[in-house]
């Protein structure tokens, strides 16, 4: 078995999907998980990108169906989490509007992140290092701070925190370990980026979001494809078992092997 075949099997990606079938399957998965957990609903952080938009659509369908079937109110809480001014925050609100979210809140993380960064730099200084936190380090602080706020809300409201993790991210390890990667449930986990786009069109994700360059929003001008050095087209082709350019294959497999620790449970002895 080739490394490509091993990865596809591990991440459980299908070579092709039926969007309606996958929507129904993933909505059912969310409903079962909420019911078994005794939760009051789901919490999703809406970034304004396609992954969180699709996840929002699935969550809202799941909680709406649970409410109708049980006669009890289940909610999807949409959380907007800018760092200071977010240039595309309107896209986050457009997603909430498109899926009829009645429960939504904005929690700005700037002050909390800046305080954590400052304390980190004081720690560097006490170690005899006159330096600032790295750009990537601050990006990770943003991701983890967002999760702290999400779980603070979810705990008191008895909600499950839903992640937007998917196979194309898992392949490259392009997420903050136990930051944006630490959630209660991940309904997109076996989909690649192309398949998420298929589902987005079927769900009715706003067109402006479908056309955006994917970004984690960790710093100005940052894009996923620019950081990773490979396109999501090649990434999706690889996960569907297709042949791709050898250079792109090499990049993807290096990312995968280098980031194995991110996909594993915390080890013990």
Q: What percent of the chain has pLDDT over 70?
A: 92
SS3 category, 197: helix
Q: What percent of the chain has pLDDT over 90?
A: 78
Instruction: Kindly give the residue spans of alpha helices, DSSP state H, lying in 38-134.
Output: 50-70, 89-98, 110-126
Catalytic: 114?
no
Catalytic: 169?
yes
pLDDT at 173: 85
All domains of the chain in start order, with CATH = 3-109+143-263 (3.40.50.620)
Q: What is the pTM of this model?
A: 0.91
Of 219, 202, 201, nearest to 210 (Cα)?
201
Indicate which residue of 169, 184, 234, 237 is catalytic.
Answer: 169
pLDDT at 87: 84
172 or 177, which is more confident? 172
pLDDT in tens, 217-241: 555 655 666 667 788 899 999 999 9
Indicate which residue of 21, 22, 32, 51 is catalytic.
Answer: 51
The mean pLDDT of the chain is 92
SS3 category, 187: coil
């Amino acid at each position: 078995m080739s490394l490509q075949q091993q990865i596809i099997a591990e991440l459980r990606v299908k070579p092709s999907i039926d969007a309606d079938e996958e929507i129904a399957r993933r909505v059912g998965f969310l409903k079962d998980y909420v019911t078994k957990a005794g939760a009051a609903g789901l919490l999703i952080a809406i970034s304004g990108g396609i992954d969180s938009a699709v996840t929002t659509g699935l969550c809202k369908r799941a909680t709406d169906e649970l409410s109708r079937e049980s006669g009890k109110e289940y909610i999807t809480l949409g959380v907007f989490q800018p760092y200071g001014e977010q240039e595309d925050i309107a896209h986050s609100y457009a997603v909430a509007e498109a899926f009829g979210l009645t429960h939504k809140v904005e929690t700005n993380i700037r002050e909390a992140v800046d305080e954590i960064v400052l304390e980190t730099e004081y720690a560097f200084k006490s170690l005899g290092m006159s330096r600032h936190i790295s750009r990537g380090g601050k990006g990770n602080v943003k991701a983890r701070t967002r999760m702290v706020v999400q779980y603070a809300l979810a705990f008191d409201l008895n909600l499950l925190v839903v992640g937007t993790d998917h196979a194309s991210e898992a392949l490259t390890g392009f997420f903050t370990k136990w930051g944006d990667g630490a959630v209660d449930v991940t309904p997109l986990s076996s989909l690649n980026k192309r398949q998420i786009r298929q589902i987005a069109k079927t769900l009715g994700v706003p067109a402006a979001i479908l056309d955006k360059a994917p970004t984690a929003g960790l710093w100005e001008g940052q894009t996923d494809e620019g950081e990773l050095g490979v396109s999501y087209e090649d990434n999706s082709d690889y996960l569907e078992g297709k042949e791709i350019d050898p250079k792109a294959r090499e990049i993807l497999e290096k990312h995968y092997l280098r980031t194995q620790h991110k996909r594993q449970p915390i080890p013990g002895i």
